[in-house]
Amino acid sequence: MTLLQDSTRTRRRRLGVGVAAAGLLAALLAAGPVSATPDPGDRPAAPKSVSKSAETEARTAIAAGEIPGQDEIVHSANIEHLTNVPKDVLPGLNTDLAFQGRYAFAGNYDGFRIYDISDPKAPRTVSQVLCPGSQNDVSVSGNLLFLSTDSSRSDDSCASTTQPATEKSSWEGMKVFDISDKRNPKYVAAVETACGSHTHTLVPEKRDVYIYVSSYSPNATFPDCQPPHDGISVIKVPRKAPQKAAVVNFPVLFPGEGADGGGNPGAPTNPGVSKTTGCHDITVLPSKDLAAGACMGDGILFSIKDPENPKVIDQVQDNVNFAFWHSATFNQKADKVVFTDELGGGSAATCNATIGPDRGADGIYDIVGKGEKRKLVFRSYFKIPRHQADTENCVAHNGSLIPVKGKDLMVQAWYQGGVSVWDFTDSAKPKEIGYFERGPATTDALVVGGSWSAYYYNGYIYSNDIRKGFDVLKVNDKRTDPAKRIRLDELNVQTQPDYFD
């Protein structure tokens, strides 16, 4: 049953506990029924039990109408849920999204799925590819599709199995597919990168595509992931010869002496803060030659005028409320950046009164000054105002701009906190203007679920729900309606377009 609710209502809940997420993967297959078996070495962790008091509290809150019932869909009056497409032959966790023309590309720990979204109310599956490599974050450019592999594999094939990172022969990095035939994607190249590829960001040019590869957590026992890992891998992919893709640079973003580099030292110096050993995610704004990096314990602003040699302009930390700098979004004028804090790694219940409004939230920064003297200046935090149960993983995650000239509007995923539409035009006073969510997946355990990515593309919001599948939403609001006129041929959210050029 669908309920319409006032988006300003605040629910009061307590803090829950978390559970680590894992991945799972398998072999390459095209569309249609398949019988491949996912690799058992990369399956997600089992649900984690919660206390009896937390279980009772969740059920009491549901009975009292304080939170939605188990799997019950609720949303604000200005959000319409058009459809849900359940998982099919890819049983892994759903991840990131990319778009091109009438197609949506959905990552999954088992591979990726291509949808025809010509009719947003009835997306059709065009093909499904099983290929090992969590998280399988996906991007597209022209006839090429790029897939991140951040789990240690026996080789670079789509028939690989899990293998310890302590073995030199193990492989992690980027895979490249030819998607000129959407019904039959072809695997054409692989590039190994230091510490794998947790996420990646495209800097597309006419003849080549550059890829900024974000990865982290080096270990002296990993031959291909040695400390200090204080930079990013830059891959160059010739469009006409993608099989020649190769790493062309490893720019150091956090220079420093010794094995720790120059980023945030983390605990014990900064308790509760992740030590910086690389970047988690990078967003580029090619029209402004700018990039913003969310790098574990640091947020950075850097220039990409020379895409092979990015240069850091400013570096900031928040050692009070940010635990893990996860992702970044520019506003269209490039005078603001929204950074997300993935407190608990995306697997904990952090959207509650105990954690409060400033942790596991978005941090909004103004960009002040000009050129290489620009600085990131903190203005405020934003967090969804609806408290979740202690059995729901919830924290700030992937989102995109909603292109309205003169306004700074975003749609954003919050795992089991659902999808939020919010306004940060006044960077000191952000506010939510719409939402969509499901009730807890369970009331007796904490399982990882909810919206991984929620992006606005050509008039609709598309959400890749980790467990439930592919959701399509429509926002009907005079504040967002002008965005319906903006049409894109391609969208990789981490490569932000100039919507109004």
8 A C-beta contact, residue 139 and residue 492: yes
Check whether 45 has a pLDDT greater than 90. Answer: no
pLDDT per residue as tens digits for the range 355-406: 999 999 999 999 999 999 999 999 999 999 999 999 999 999 999 999 999 9
Question: What would the two tokens of residue 429 be?
Answer: 């006073």
Confidence of residue 262 (pLDDT cuts 50, 70, 90): confident
Pairing of strands 311-316, 325-330: unpaired
Q: What is the DSSP letter of 243?
A: G
pTM over the 0.85 mark? yes
Length of the chain: 501
Mean pLDDT of all residues in 238-246: 98
Closest CA to 21 of 97, 113, 102, 95: 95
Closest CA to 319 of 335, 341, 338: 341
Only one residue has tokens 């219940």, namely 349
Phi, psi of 58 (to 5 degrees): -60, -45
pLDDT per residue as tens digits for the range 431-442: 999 999 999 999
Burial class (CB in 10 A: 0-12, 13-18, 19+), 52: exposed
d(CA 82, CA 99): 18
pLDDT value, residue 259: 65
Q: Which of 27-31, 124-128, 469-473 has the lowest mean pLDDT?
A: 27-31
Q: Percent of the chain scored above 70 by pLDDT? A: 90
pLDDT per residue as tens digits for the range 109-157: 999 999 999 999 999 999 999 998 899 999 999 999 999 999 999 999 9
d(CA 51, CA 362): 29
d(CA 421, CA 71): 21
Mean pLDDT of all residues in 64-92: 96
Average pLDDT along the chain: 91
Name the residue with higher pLDDT: 247 or 259: 247
Closest CA to 211 of 238, 188, 230: 238
Check whether 16 has a pLDDT greater than 80. Answer: no
| Secondary element (H or E) of residue 60 | helix 52-63
pLDDT value, residue 395: 98
Only one residue has tokens 């206390």, namely 51
8 A C-beta contact, residue 396 and residue 341: yes
Q: Percent of the chain scored above 90 by pLDDT? A: 85
d(CA 196, CA 194): 5
How far is CA 145 from each of CA 16, 188, 386, 474, rounded to the nearest angstrom? 38, 10, 37, 27
Mean pLDDT of all residues in 421-435: 98
Confidence of residue 2 (pLDDT cuts 50, 70, 90): very low
CA angle 347, 353, 354 (to 5 degrees): 70
How far is CA 267 from each of CA 258, 281, 323, 362, 439, rounded to the nearest angstrom? 17, 21, 11, 22, 35
Q: Give the CB-side neighbour count of residue 356, counting CA atoms within 13 A.
A: 6
Only one residue has tokens 């940060």, namely 424
pLDDT per residue as tens digits for the range 269-309: 999 999 999 999 999 999 999 999 999 999 999 999 999 99
Task: Name the CA dihedral angle for 253, 428, 411, 440, rounded to a multiple of 10 degrees.
Answer: 100
How much of the chain is helix, strand and coil, in % rounded to 5?
A: 5, 40, 50
Mean pLDDT of all residues in 214-225: 96
Name the residue with higher pLDDT: 259 or 460: 460
Check whether 417 has a pLDDT greater than 80. Answer: yes
- CB-CB neighbours of 70 under 10 Å: 16
Burial class (CB in 10 A: 0-12, 13-18, 19+), 9: exposed
Question: What would the two tokens of residue 160 be?
Answer: 């690989």
Sheet arrangement for strand 336-341: 325-330, 336-341, 362-368, 375-382
d(CA 384, CA 382): 7
8 A C-beta contact, residue 33 and residue 89: yes
Question: What would the two tokens of residue 333 be?
Answer: 């004028």
Largest CA distance in the chain: 61
Question: Could you give the 3-state DSSP secondary structure of residue 373?
Answer: helix
Q: Which residues pair with 186 in a beta bridge?
A: 178
Question: What would the two tokens of residue 318 be?
Answer: 């928040």
Pairing of strands 2-5, 73-76: parallel
Q: Which residues pair with 280 in a beta bridge?
A: none
Name the residue with higher pLDDT: 237 or 26: 237
